[in-house]
Amino acid sequence: MTLDRYPGAALITGASSGLGEVFAHRLAEAGKDLVVVARRREKLETLATTLQDAHGVRVLVVAEDLSKPGASQRIRSAVDAANLSIGLLINNAGFGRFEPFEAAPAGVNGDMVRVNCVAPVELTQAFVPDMLAQGRGCLVFIASTASFLPTPWMSVYGATKAFDLLLAEALYAEYQNRGVDVLAVCPGVTETGFQDVAGVDATPPGPMVATAEDVVDASLKRLHKGPSFVHGWANQPTALLPRFFPRKLIARVAGNAIRRVSDKLKELPEPSEHDS
């Protein structure tokens, strides 16, 4: 890892589980001070104690719900109050749901946009000026292989991840000559708590499934090699399909594949093969 390129602490959202928790462990092992952000204060405090005891790093706990207005400003205020500077920002927090668009509970899709899109924008805007001022820093956005395709039955999630990918790639171009690295990470199916939140019945076996450790280790090796990468050889074709096939076909095939992941979707009609 080339963490000496990024002075200051690392701020990780969604740090209480999954990829965020693994990022916290890996960065603490490397001697990086941390700011860990998530809703569950108890889990964060347990994580902070573990990392401080094991690695002697400083860990600031910020319990914050990123779907709430003003969350990013409150996080920035907590960082300032602790007299910390942020050299590495990992926009990891996010969630998705598998269901027909109209079946989502009121407010859930709006919260998904706020957590997956608005929070990364606002946190980046809060901390990137300091990185630019010192000419060093790194922004990481956890996107998805869903960034490249329409994703029926999880339509808002796929759209938010496409937003994260394109935002990261644009910022890479803006900042590549100004000392700030930018990377969008596009994992496929990964063994985290995402499936439970999204309502998926099981993680499918096979070469397309990665561990959180796999994804994090690969990401840390790519920090200064942006703007983006697809994790896992078996996921590479997903990013290429829209270049070679009609979008109508891609949407239908993706919808059929996603519909079979969850029992609550299996009885729904398949997307039509014909124009309406």
Give tens-digit pLDDT for 198-227.
455 545 545 567 899 999 999 999 999 989
As a whole number of angstroms, the distance between CA 270 and CA 254 comes to: 11
Please list, in sequence order, all residues whose beta carbon lies within 8 angstroms of the beta carbon of residue 137, skipping any fewer than 6 positions away: 6, 8, 86, 87, 88, 89, 127, 128, 130, 131, 179, 180, 181
pLDDT > 60? residue 276: no
Nearest alpha-carbon partner for 41 in 23, 22, 59: 59
Q: Write the DSSP symbol of residue 235.
A: G
Domains present along the chain, CATH in parentheses: 3-266 (3.40.50.720)
Over residues 236-256, the pLDDT tens digits come to 777 777 777 777 777 777 777
Q: What is the pLDDT of residue 207?
A: 53
- Residue 19: how many CB atoms within 10 A of its CB? 26
This prediction's pTM: 0.88
pLDDT of 145 above 50: yes
Query: CB neighbours (10 Å) of residue 50?
Result: 14
Q: Lowest mean pLDDT: which of 8-22, 153-167, 171-185, 202-216? A: 202-216
Amino acid 234: pLDDT: 77
Q: Is residue 162 classed as helix, strand or coil in its secondary structure?
A: helix
